[in-house]
């Protein structure tokens, strides 16, 4: 594996400066009360393309050599990495080819196309994705940008927690969701340097508990069928992220689907911000009192805000048309 | 009528300082593109109790004499003023009695009770509200706080635009929604002093166009049946707000129900913040190009974020339980 260091994260910060938003931190007295602790949220739902993924994608594209960039970049992604890589490529003036499963959220597909990418549809299976992506790579000669196992992606994702710590100070615990593990890996490497006594904990849907089982059993679980509303967390870890999590992460906590929906609703209602289900996964443990300890300071990376609003607004339309 | 001056707004600012949030301003490149202008949003959806109403309610309660306060305060309100007055009373340690129509949003009723108010249900008619409120006033001896015609409420609502102008500078146009006219009145008085050349424009649902007709015909329209999703804008102007609007407001623009829903969705999707339908009324004219003029600077007060999320989340729950 490629080892990723604090220096890689510092270099990523310089590359993304002026391109990625420095997103705000928010707090909520109501949620502090429910959590029984002091919680600071890093709002990557306000990041460009609506999620933290822009950090890693931009850092990777910015790190490519002119020769590597010449034929553009490609990736497979169910959503947020797709949009992020599309915009990163557009800002560098190079083509992006994005392989997306047929059952992807239509809003995410059209957003990806809106950033100038060419979207290639594929069967909604692990194998379908990989075969289609391989073909696109051969046809175009583009550079592959893995959504979470790519070291430059991981370094980019590590920049969010640096800003959180700069803006809000010390933490006892830092929580992020874990899907492919890019955000959690980058966060854990940065925190190990900035706040070596802080526990970094990954939050995962019980219906896609591959990271939990991988860490518990000491071997990478990739063969599973995710069943979760948190569409950003259905992918397995990669070998790089698995190795980093084993070294730097305190533990993985699991949450139920009901807890995810409850957490999402609580954030929408109390904080008046839109987060997607994957983000709510890192809020859910707080609401069941998992970290209810007076004086405990907890940082949470709200990973994205690309929730599918179609159902809600199509239900409103007949009323609006009345 | 009581005349309200710039000095009243300055006094309100001092009273609410440290109690009301100084809410942030936000911008969106995507929405600027759609509007064809530069738009700055004042985010009162992040205000305490989820709307600008806290400003006026707090200013009023803080202005009462000890004798007036002794028996508490009361009001009738379908929602946001209810919560705002309840919290303002709670912070002053006095009782609040809130008359709410039977068909009020249940989330707003329970939020009002959550701030320690006693909620009294009434028939969902103009007459039902007023009769019930009159009875409560007699029984309790509490001080009545009108949701928009009360001069101290109007002065309080005028504080939001002061912060917007301090934070974001000059504007060519300032937009707010108009229901009872408290926010628009306070905004227009403050703007007349701070930016005398700026046009202040009210935005109103076509299905509740009483302010539009009142201004056009030069007489206060109070007899109408509102039909709009914008539940905060179903009330008529009062005599105070009508007089202020005639003097200070440039014009009222009307928007359709479809435009309101489209604007609400656009803000949720692009800005990742939750606004309620009444707020979207002030965004809708921008999205149809009403102010599409290169270089025009437009300030918009997003009045609140207390959207009814029940339908959305109850639709999600079966999926989450699967």
DSSP per residue, A149-179: SSHHHHHHHTHHHHHHHHHH---SEEEEE-S
* B175: confidence class by pLDDT, cuts 50, 70, 90: very high
- Beta bridge partners, B144, equal B74
In this complex, which of A261, A313, A321 lies closest to B265 when CB atoms are compared?
A313
Q: Work out the mean pLDDT of chain B and round it to a whole number.
A: 94
Do B174 and B71 fall into the same domain? no
* Separation between Cα atoms, residue A22 and residue B69, nearest integer Å: 45
Question: Residues of B with CB below 8 A from A273's CB?
Answer: 272-274
**Containing domain of residue B88, as a range?**
54-144
Cross-chain residue pair B227–A322, CB shorter than 8 Å: yes
Output the pLDDT for position B319. 52
Distance from CA of B273 to the nearest CA of A (A): 4
Longest dimension (CA), chain B: 60
Do A165 and A296 fall into the same domain? yes
Structure tokens at A8: 């890689």
B26 in helix, strand or coil? strand
Do A136 and A161 fall into the same domain? no
Do A174 and A79 fall into the same domain? no
A206, A266, A320: best to mutate for the B interface, most B CBs within 10 A: A320
Do B171 and B84 fall into the same domain? no
In this complex, which of B257, B275, B320 lies closest to A258 when CB atoms are compared?
B320
Q: Which pLDDT tens digit goes with each residue over A68-121?
A: 999 999 999 878 999 999 999 999 999 999 999 898 878 789 889 999 999 999
Cross-chain residue pair B272–A269, CB shorter than 8 Å: no
* A200: confidence class by pLDDT, cuts 50, 70, 90: very high
B312, B319, B321: best to mutate for the A interface, most A CBs within 10 A: B312
Cross-chain residue pair B258–A317, CB shorter than 8 Å: yes
Do B136 and B238 fall into the same domain? no
Residue A29 lies in a domain: yes
Calculate what percentage of chain B has a pLDDT beyond 90: 87
Residue A170 lies in a domain: yes
Output the pLDDT for position A317. 63
CB atoms inside a 10 Å sphere around CB A45? 25
Give chain A's end-to-end CA distance (angstroms, integer): 60
Of A106, A125, A144, the one marking the end of a domain is A144
Q: Where are the alpha helices (DSSP H) in chain B?
A: 6-16, 29-35, 53-63, 66-69, 80-92, 106-114, 126-140, 151-157, 159-168, 182-194, 210-217, 239-248, 257-271, 277-280, 284-287, 310-321
Residue B313 lies in a domain: no
Cross-chain residue pair B261–A309, CB shorter than 8 Å: no
Of B84, B109, B144, the one marking the end of a domain is B144
- C-alpha distances out from residue B256 to A281, A306, B219, Å: 37, 27, 24
Cross-chain residue pair B272–A315, CB shorter than 8 Å: no
DSSP, res A237: P
Do B28 and B60 fall into the same domain? no
In this complex, which of A46, A275, A309 lies closest to B265 when CB atoms are compared?
A309
* Separation between Cα atoms, residue B99 and residue B88, nearest integer Å: 16
Do A133 and A102 fall into the same domain? yes
The residue in chain A having the minimum alpha-carbon distance to the alpha carbon of residue B229 is: A320
Residue B320 lies in a domain: no
Output the pLDDT for position B256. 98
Do B222 and B239 fall into the same domain? yes
Our count of domains for chain B comes to 2
Residue A197 lies in a domain: yes
Of B87, B113, B144, the one marking the end of a domain is B144
Residue A321 lies in a domain: no
Distance from CA of B299 to the nearest CA of A (A): 20
Tell me which residues of A are annotated as active site: 53, 78
Q: What backbone torsions phi and psi does residue B21 show, to the nearest 5 degrees? A: -70, 145
Residue B137's CATH number: 3.40.50.1100
**Which of A212, A287, A295 is CA-nearest to residue A249?**
A212
Residue A111 lies in a domain: yes
Cross-chain residue pair B312–A312, CB shorter than 8 Å: yes
Do B171 and B295 fall into the same domain? yes
Q: Which pLDDT tens digit goes with each residue over A139-156?
A: 999 999 999 999 999 999
Cross-chain residue pair A273–B268, CB shorter than 8 Å: no
Give the count of alpha carbons within 13 A of A114, CB side only. 10
In this complex, which of A227, A274, A319 lies closest to B274 when CB atoms are compared?
A274
* Separation between Cα atoms, residue A237 and residue A228, nearest integer Å: 16
Residue B322 lies in a domain: no
Output the pLDDT for position A319. 52
* A65: confidence class by pLDDT, cuts 50, 70, 90: very high
Question: Residues of A with CB below 8 A from B46's CB?
Answer: 272
Do B120 and B106 fall into the same domain? yes
Cross-chain residue pair B322–A227, CB shorter than 8 Å: yes
Question: Residues of B with CB below 8 A from A46's CB?
Answer: 272
Q: Which pLDDT tens digit goes with each residue over B4-23?
A: 999 999 999 999 999 999 99
Tell me which residues of B are annotated as active site: 53, 78
In this structure, are strands B25-26 and A297-302 parallel, antiparallel, or unpaired?
A: unpaired
Output the pLDDT for position A311. 74
Do A306 and A161 fall into the same domain? yes
Considering only CA atoms, give the Rg of chain B: 19
- Beta bridge partners, A199, equal A173
């Amino acid at each position: 594996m490629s080892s990723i260091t604090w220096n890689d994260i510092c270099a990523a910060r310089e590359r993304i400066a002026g391109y990625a938003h420095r997103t705000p931190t928010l707090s909520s007295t109501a949620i502090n009360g429910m959590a029984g602790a002091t919680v600071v949220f890093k709002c990557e739902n306000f990041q460009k393309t609506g999620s933290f993924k822009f950090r890693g994608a931009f850092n990777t594209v910015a790190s490519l050599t002119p020769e590597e960039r010449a034929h553009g970049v490609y990736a497979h992604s169910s959503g947020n990495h797709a949009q992020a890589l599309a915009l990163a490529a557009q800002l560098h003036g190079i083509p992006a080819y994005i392989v997306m499963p047929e059952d992807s959220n239509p809003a995410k597909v059209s957003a990806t196309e809106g950033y100038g990418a060419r979207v290639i549809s594929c069967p909604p299976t692990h194998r379908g994705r990989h075969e289609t992506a391989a073909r696109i790579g051969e046809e175009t000669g583009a550079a592959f940008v893995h959504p979470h196992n790519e070291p430059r992606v991981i370094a980019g994702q590590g920049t969010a927690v640096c800003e959180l710590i700069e803006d809000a100070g010390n933490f006892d615990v830092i929580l992020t969701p874990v899907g492919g593990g890019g955000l959690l890996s980058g966060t854990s490497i940065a925190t190990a340097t900035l706040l070596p006594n802080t526990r970094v904990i990954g939050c995962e849907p019980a219906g896609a508990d591959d990271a939990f089982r991988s860490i518990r059993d000491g071997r990478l679980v990739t063969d599973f069928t995710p069943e979760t509303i948190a569409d950003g967390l259905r992918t397995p870890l990669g070998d790089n992220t698995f190795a980093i999590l084993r070294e730097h992460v305190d533990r993985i906590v699991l949450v139920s689907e009901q807890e995810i929906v409850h957490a999402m609703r609580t954030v929408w209602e109390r904080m008046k911000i839109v987060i997607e289900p994957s983000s709510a996964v890192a809020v859910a443990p707080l609401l069941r009192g998992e970290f209810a300890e007076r004086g405990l300071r907890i940082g949470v990376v709200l990973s994205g805000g690309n929730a599918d609003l179609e159902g809600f607004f199509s239900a409103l339309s007949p009323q609006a048309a009345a």
